[in-house]
Amino acid sequence: MEPGEPREPRELGPGAETAAAPHWEEAKTFYDNLAPQKKPKSPKPQNAVTIAVSSRALFRMDEEQRIYTEQGVEEYVRYQLEHENEPFSPGPAFPFVKALEAVNRRLRELYPESEDLFDIVLVTNNHAQVGVRLINSINHYDLFIERFCMTGGNSPICYLKAYHTNLYLSADAEKVQEAIDEGIAAATIFSPSRDVAVSQSQLRVAFDGDAVLFSDESERIVKAHGLDRFFEHEKAHENKPLAQGPLKGFLEALGRLQKKFYSKGLRLECPIRTYLVTARSAASSGARALKTLRSWGLETDEALFLAGAPKGPLLEKIRPHIFFDDQMFHVAGAQEMGTVAAHVPYGVAQTSRRTSPTKQAPPAQ
């Protein structure tokens, strides 16, 4: 054969093609498994339900907080850099974030092109060089958090509206109050006193009513005139909807995502479940709460009217990923029973709780 002359094709024996096919398929599978798995795209902020979470809400940073308080910011930064390959332990918001991601997976299965998803933003006033440890921790736990806001010691609150934030969770009560004052749904999150297993497949969110979903109108009546006058007031105004509270918009966003499952015939298998857990009594003041939700086109899957009884034992049965209340008394009771509770600093119950500012560590926002 002359150089450059095309080679005659070699004839294959009977069955050779079919024998070679399995080997090719095996090789293709092998190399596909070696290829990096592509993560889904982050939704555009204006299309998503955006949850902003501070670093100290998502992770436990007690030792870092102690170093900052006792030794100052330079030693704090040095410690973070020296330990940047050590992942943080999960904090109080960690199970909530994992549940959000579980809902997203279901939504992507049903609506592959939709951006109507939860979008999680890590918000921290850490310096950028400390961010490497946060990134390493997020990758270690395989969390899908692509958006970061690291403000280098400045308050991150001014950025929350730019991120179209639907809910801000933080361990820093002052930052939360600042967000509430700016009209942003926010709560200070607390770790429970003991660990309780929560659902891995269904996001469960429990809300107090007054000064959380609703305004503090009724609480003002109680504080000024007592319970008897409150019952009279609620009966007289039963058909007048209460004004909205700071977390009404978040419940609305959850309801919008729930309806995407309902429209596929999955109401009973919906991976989002909401609860109203209120100290109101059903007979004397419950109707106004339910009629208010109805007037907004909203509902909760369950409504528990406790008539002043402790909320902790009921929450222990529900096992929500997070419970929102405006009164620290109820937050503490939930903590004792193993519930991740979040304080919403809104309304007349907060008047006596305003205190002078205290020094906070960079990750505590």
Q: Is residue 163 part of a domain?
A: yes
Q: Does 218 lie in the same domain as 183?
A: no
With respect to residue 42, please indicate whether it lies within any of the assigned structural domains: no
What was the pLDDT predicted at 352? 54
Answer yes or no: do 277 and 223 share one domain: yes
Q: Which CATH number characterizes residue 107's domain?
A: 3.40.50.1000
Rounded to whole angstroms, the Cα distance separating 145 from 61 reads 19
Domain boundary among 131, 163, 188: 188
Q: Are residues 232 and 180 in the same domain?
A: no
For residues 40 and 107, what is the distance between their CA atoms, to the nearest angstrom? 12
Tens digits of residue pLDDT in 238-294: 899 999 999 999 999 999 999 999 999 999 999 999 999 999 888 888 899 999 999
**Quick one: pLDDT band at residue 348, thresholds 50, 70, 90?**
confident
pLDDT score for 101: 97
Instruction: Tell me which residue range forms the domain holding 89.
Output: 49-188
Query: What integer pLDDT is reported at residue 47 of this predicted model?
Result: 87
Cβ–Cβ < 8 Å for 64, 82: no
Which structure tokens are listed for 294? 């109805």
What pLDDT sits at residue 205?
98
Rounded to 5 degrees, φ, ψ at 129 are -65, -25
Catalytic annotation present for 195: no
In a domain, 303, yes or no: yes
Same domain, 116 and 233: no
**Cβ pair 247, 266 in contact under 8 A:** no
Q: Mean pLDDT of all residues in the chain?
A: 86
Q: Is residue 67 part of a domain?
A: yes
Q: How confident is the model at residue 230 (pLDDT cuts 50, 70, 90)?
A: confident
pLDDT tens across 189-219, in order? 999 999 899 999 999 999 999 999 999 988 8
Mean pLDDT of 104-126: 94
- Residue from 173, 167, 168, 92 nearest 350 by CA: 173
pLDDT reported for residue 37: 52
What is the tens place of the pLDDT at every residue in 147-170? Answer: 999 888 788 898 999 999 999 999
Asked if 91 and 61 touch (Cβ cutoff 8 Å), the reply is yes
For 192, what's the count of Cα atoms within 13 Å in the CB-facing half-sphere? 24
Catalytic residue chosen out of the listed positions 208, 210, 325, 326 = 208
Do residues 137 and 87 make contact, with C-beta atoms less than 8 angstroms apart? yes
Domain shared by 306 and 248, yes or no: yes
Q: CA-CA distances (angstroms) from residue 278 to 55, 235, 286, 312, 324?
A: 30, 17, 9, 12, 11
Q: Give the span between the Cα atoms of 283 and 19, in whole angstroms.
A: 76
Residue 341, CB-side half-sphere exposure with 13 Å CA sphere:
26
Looking at the structure of the chain, the number of domains it has is 2
Instruction: Give the side-chain half-sphere CA count within 13 A for 145.
Output: 27
Tokens, residue 46: 């204006």
Q: What's the pLDDT score for residue 361?
A: 37
Query: Is 17 inside any structural domain?
Result: no
pLDDT tens for each residue of 71-91: 988 898 899 999 999 999 999
Question: Which residue from 219, 222, 207, 247 is spatially nearest to 347, judged by alpha carbons?
Answer: 219
Same domain for 259 and 303, yes or no, is yes
